[in-house]
Amino acid sequence: MLLVCVTYCVNIYGLDFSMLLVCNGETFNGPLEDMFGYSVQQFENSEGKWVLIGSPLAGQPAKRTGDVYKCRVGQGPNPRCIKLELPENTTIPNLHEVKENMTMGTTLVTNPQGGFLACGPQYGYMCGQQTYISGVCTNVSSTFQVLNSIAPAVQECAKELDIVMVLDGSNSIWPWTSIIDFLVKFLKNIEIGAKLSQVGIVSYGEKVTHNVNLSQFDTTQSLLAKVAKLPQQTGFKTMTALGIDTARKEAFTVERGARPGVKKVMIIVTDGESHDFYNLDKVIKECEEDDIERFGIAVLGDYNRNNRNHFFNVSDEFALLNIVDALGSRIFALEATSGNYTSSFEMEMSQAGFSAHTSKEGVMLGAVGAYEWNGTVVMHTNQGTVVPLNADFQDPLDERKESLAEYVGYAVQSASTPNGELYITGAPRYNHTGRVIVYKLDGEIITVTQVLKGEQIGSYFGSVLQTVDVDQDSYTDILLVGAPMFMGPEREEQGQVYVYKLNEGLFEHQTTLKPDNQTCCTSAHSNGCTIVNTNGPCGARFGTAIAEVSDLDLDGNRDVAIGAPLENDHKGAVYVYHGAKKTIKEKYVQRIPGPGDGVKTKFFGQSIHGVMDLNGDGIIDITIGGLGGASLFWSKDVAELYANMTFDPNKINLQQPSEDCVLGERATVCVKTRVCFSYSVKSEKDHTNLGTGESLINTLPVCLNVYSVNTSIKCNDSNKEKFHVLITIRNSQDNAYNTKVMLSFTENINYVKVKVRSFSMFVELL
């Protein structure tokens, strides 16, 4: 029997599977130890197309400041990247900056108006001996020039402070040497001088003694020598109210060295009940009226009831040394309410820029270290900076009302709705299961509209966020929330991504995406394994990176790419999902495995960006980063194929053979089949005709007739049976040049000849 197989090949859609075999693809390599590839962004300016690559630990071992590299697209097989030297050009005036370990390049965000934002959340500065890790972001122009630096959490140092220490010297304090050790360690961090800080010491028991006046010493060393020999007051009573009141009235006088206009600070160290507690309310009120900032150690409530951040509770005298750094941080931040770069003193360790997002209103900066690692989100606009209060993001149902180290600001996003903008931030450590906060911002007023909560302890739900306008109507359709450390059935970090659909301003859970199951093959657990994992932890961490990717298949819907950098023994992988009907399809259309070795290059899928056509074919391409490198993946051509089949006759009567169709001297049933198909290769851009400038319509209808010499399409087992293929091609639009027709057939068929007619080819096969 003859078997005719005519094939027509159309390259539908797909990304190239191998980084090394990508047609015209490029790989940019850098030091793994510098975390080269931690963040990536596609970028374009008048000079061409680029890939920006963050390397947060660049510069080690000396400084490890981090940096951003620019890598031009189209350099060939050995592309070269250039370091932008952003740390050297990033500066905040009038500060003693600490750029070592600033991790520049941790966060990269392109600006829709041109340029980009690069952040170093570990940027710090010094106040006296204290180092604050405030974070900084740098605005870079389209020509790679630093425009300005943003550091919303930076605050001016308190250069002049009058500090009076009120010490409980009663017999209940023991051993006194612990108090001396505390004083020495604390005072070492204070710069003493006429134009700097001054320190006075008052001790009390049954009575009060002025041990040191404010203006008595002009250097830190001379004060320390005095403190080392400070005697204990002793006494069987603890007259705390008397000690505070005496310090207020006498220690802060001009006669004892107090300076008019300089901030007054009182530090009370006590142990035991106050025997004159009935006077405390009156004394505290008078301190407030005199604008004396008070810090209490041990019995907070009596001395600073209005500000719990000014109280340090220790278990015993020996534990005093543990609070020295925290106390110093509070004191040096007291003047942080004036100047051009100021905010609440509770932002001193905020790490602003840990995450960033450009919204319609301005730049959102995640500050995970704010408010004792409870975190917050800073909004930076041309009109100013909005720094939310600690209570703005607290759970109103949480009766504890205390910092939970939940890391608000770990990830930030915004969503566009017909009723205005929604702002979104993740707090992956909230209640150990994580949560996502959705809120509105009106001036400086924050209104939380919704909270989405994680389901598994330690999953880091909310650590990655991505909103997607699937149908490109300018309104957000879905929110994807990553939980990359979600444990799988074998206690491995598989990870998963939650998909929420936006419905009338509220997000509703629609589905949950999961990676291919990763079997953990270790020396202790190797049943059924062919390769044993050498890197830990095991799993996928699916959802470490989630990127909205511009329309890959040109169906009018945006797509999504999700990174799983721990897959395949830390080589990594990326999953691609198509958008459809205001959401994304649950089944991925492609999994791109990481080509690295898991040692020199690893964690493929750590970062993803796909918003730009990098190779000029009119279709969006994807950049995927991992530690040690970043790769470009070209999107293949997208084609639409249309097919139509007609039959003559269109109805078959099997009971009445046709008289015109005879096979082996026997009448049979014959049918003529006509197959017509056409295709068009799509691209996002129109291709122009050199002559007229009109859009080139490259639809090429093709009709195919297959029939045997006896007009029957019936296949038979005669080796001498001939049959013909008639191919008709028409071009109803623009001119076509060098048109080719390819015909494939099985090995048991021999080609005889071809005849060319008008618009047709007549091929005879045997």
User: For the segment 282-310, what is each residue's pLDDT rounded down to a tens digit?
Assistant: 998 999 999 998 887 763 333 444 444 44
State residue 731's pLDDT score: 66
Start-to-end CA span in the chain (Å): 13
Q: In this predicted model, which residue has the larger pLDDT, 395 or 222?
A: 222
295/151 same-domain check: no
Is residue 499 within 8 A of residue 513, CB to CB? The reply is yes
Q: Cα-flanking dihedrals φ and ψ of residue 280, to 5°?
A: -65, -45
- Residues 283 and 394 placed together within one structural domain of the fold: no
CA 185 to chain centre: 39
One domain, residues 477 and 586 = yes
pLDDT level of residue 316 (50, 70, 90 thresholds): very low
> Do 406 and 502 belong to one domain?
yes
The pLDDT value recorded for residue 188 is 86
In the chain, what's the furthest Cα-to-Cα distance?
A: 134
Beta strands in 178-234 (DSSP E): 197-204, 208-212
Boundary residue ending a domain (633, 649, 672): 633
| 495 within a domain of the structure (yes/no) | yes
> With contact defined as beta carbons under 8 Å apart, do 628 and 40 qualify?
no
Residue 197's DSSP bridge partners are 161, 192
CA pair distance 133, 706, nearest whole angstrom:
76
Average pLDDT over residues 258-280: 84
Backbone dihedral angles phi then psi of residue 263, each to the nearest 5 degrees: -60, 135
Residue 248 domain-assigned (yes or no): yes
d(CA 479, CA 496): 14
Q: What are phi and psi of 256, to 5 degrees?
A: -100, 10
Strand ranges (E), 588-685: 590-593, 602-612, 621-627, 629-633, 638-648, 658-662, 667-668, 672-682
Residue-level pLDDT at 713? 38
Residue 475: give its domain's CATH number. Answer: 2.130.10.130
366: β partners: 355, 377
pLDDT in tens, 33-81: 999 999 999 999 999 999 999 999 998 877 889 999 999 998 877 789 9
Burial string for 108-144 (b: 16+ CB within 10 Å, else e) reads bbbeeeebbbbbbbbbbbebbebbbbbbbbbbbebeb
Tens digits of residue pLDDT in 697-754 = 344 455 555 444 333 333 444 444 676 777 777 665 556 666 777 777 777 777 788 8
Cβ proximity of 636 and 11 under 8 Å: yes
Which 8-state DSSP code applies to residue 231? P
Q: What is the pLDDT of residue 677?
A: 76
Q: Is the confidence at residue 313, as pLDDT, over 60?
A: no
Query: Mean pLDDT, to the nearest integer, of 95-122?
Result: 94
Asked whether residue 642 falls in the same domain as residue 620, the answer is: no
| DSSP track, 39-102 | EEEEEEETTEEEEEEEETTTTTTTT--BEEEEEETT--SS--EEE--HHHH---TTSEEE-TT-
Q: Compute CA distances 71 → 443, 533, 629, whole Å.
A: 39, 33, 11
Report which of 395, 396, 429 is spatially closest to residue 411, judged by C-alpha positions. 429
| pLDDT exceeds cutoff 80 at 153 | yes
User: Do 543 and 560 touch, CB atoms closer than 8 A?
Assistant: no
Weakest-pLDDT range from 7-11, 109-113, 441-445, 491-495: 7-11
611, 633, 655: which is the final residue of a domain? 633
Contacts of residue 81, defined as CB under 8 A and 6 or more positions apart, other chains included, come to 28, 30, 53, 69, 70, 71
Together in a domain, 690 and 576: no
Cβ-contact 28, 82 below 8 angstroms: no
**Is the pLDDT reported for residue 589 higher than 70?**
yes
Tally the domains of the chain: 3
Q: What phi and psi, each to the nearest 5 degrees, are found at residue 493? A: -80, 80
Spatial contact of 157 and 335, defined as CB atoms under 8 Å apart = yes
Query: What does pTM read for this prediction?
Result: 0.72
User: Which of 609, 633, 657 delimits the end of a domain?
Assistant: 633
Percent of the chain beyond pLDDT 70? 78
202 and 325 in one domain? Answer: yes
How far is the C-alpha of 266 from the C-alpha of 244, rounded, in Å? 8
How does residue 15 score in pLDDT terms, banded at 50, 70 and 90?
very low
User: Domain of 319: which CATH number?
Assistant: 3.40.50.410
Q: Is the dihedral of CA 165, 171, 176, 178 positive or negative?
A: negative
Is 416 in the same domain as 459? yes
What average pLDDT does this structure show over 138-157?
91
SS3 content of the chain, % helix, strand, coil (to 5): 10, 40, 50
Residue 652 is inside which H or E element, if any? none
Which among 451, 436, 439 is positioned nearest to 482, based on CA atoms?
436
pLDDT recorded at residue 340: 36
Asked if residue 603 and residue 496 are part of one domain, the reply reads yes
Structure-derived torsion over alpha carbons of residues 183, 186, 188, 190, reported in degrees to the nearest 10: -120
- Report the C-alpha gap between 160 and 338 in whole angstroms: 14
pLDDT of 207: 92
pLDDT greater than 80 at residue 397? no
- Indicate whether 61 and 106 sit together in one domain: yes
Of the given ranges (156-165, 233-242, 309-318, 321-330), which has the lowest mean pLDDT? 309-318
Task: For residue 473, tell me if it sits in a domain.
Answer: yes
Q: Is residue 561 over pLDDT 70? A: yes
- 607 has a pLDDT exceeding 60: yes
Residues 302 and 404 grouped into a single domain: no
Structure tokens at 530: 């062919």
If DSSP codes are grouped into helix, strand and coil, which group holds residue 370?
A: helix
| pLDDT given at position 527 | 62
**Residue 6 pLDDT more than 50?**
no
Tell me if 716 is assigned to some domain: yes
Mean pLDDT of 522-526: 62
Q: Is the pLDDT of residue 517 over 90?
A: no
Residue 609 lies in a domain: yes
Above 90 in pLDDT, residue 247? yes
Residue predicted with more confidence, 348 or 726: 348
Distance of CA 732 to the CA centre of its chain: 50
In a domain? residue 11: no
pLDDT at residue 712, as a whole number: 36
Query: Which is nearest to 216 in space by CA: 206, 237, 236, 230?
Result: 230
Statement: residue 367 has pLDDT above 50? yes
Q: Is residue 604 part of a domain?
A: yes
Rg of the chain, C-alpha, whole Å: 36
**Quick one: how far is CA 651 from the chain centroid?**
62
Task: Let me know if 265 is exposed, middle or buried by CB neighbors in 10 A (0-12, 13-18, 19+).
Answer: buried
Shortest CA distance to 211 belongs to which of 225, 220, 201, 219?
A: 201
Q: In the structure, what pLDDT confidence band is assigned to residue 26 with cuts at 50, 70 and 90?
A: confident
Closest CA to 166 of 208, 133, 198, 131: 208
The verdict on 201 and 298 lying in the same domain is yes
Rounded CA gap, 533 and 518, in Å? 11
Residue burial 679-690, b: 16+ Cβ < 10 Å; e: rest = bebbeeeeeeee
pLDDT score, position 674: 82
Per-range mean pLDDT, top range of 169-178, 323-332, 435-444: 435-444
- Residue that wins the pLDDT comparison between 277 and 556: 556
Confidence of residue 630 (pLDDT cuts 50, 70, 90): very high
Q: Bigger pLDDT: 117 or 190?
A: 117
Classified as helix, coil or strand, 520 is coil
pLDDT in tens, 631-675: 999 887 777 777 888 888 777 776 776 667 777 777 777 778 888
What CA–CA distance (Å, rounded) separates 564 from 606? 7
In a domain? residue 15:
no
Q: What 3-state class would DSSP assign to 592?
A: strand
Mean pLDDT of all residues belonging to the chain? 81
- Residues with Cβ within 8 Å of residue 319, at least 6 apart in sequence: none
Provide mean pLDDT across the span 405-429. Answer: 96
| Amino acid in position 176 | W
pLDDT band for 7, please (50, 70, 90 cuts).
very low
- Where residue 108 falls among pLDDT bands split at 50, 70, 90? very high
**How far is residue 539's CA from residue 495's CA, in Å, rounded to a whole number?**
8
- Residue 264 scores a pLDDT above 80: yes
% of the chain beyond a pLDDT of 90: 47
Q: Domain range holding 667?
A: 638-765
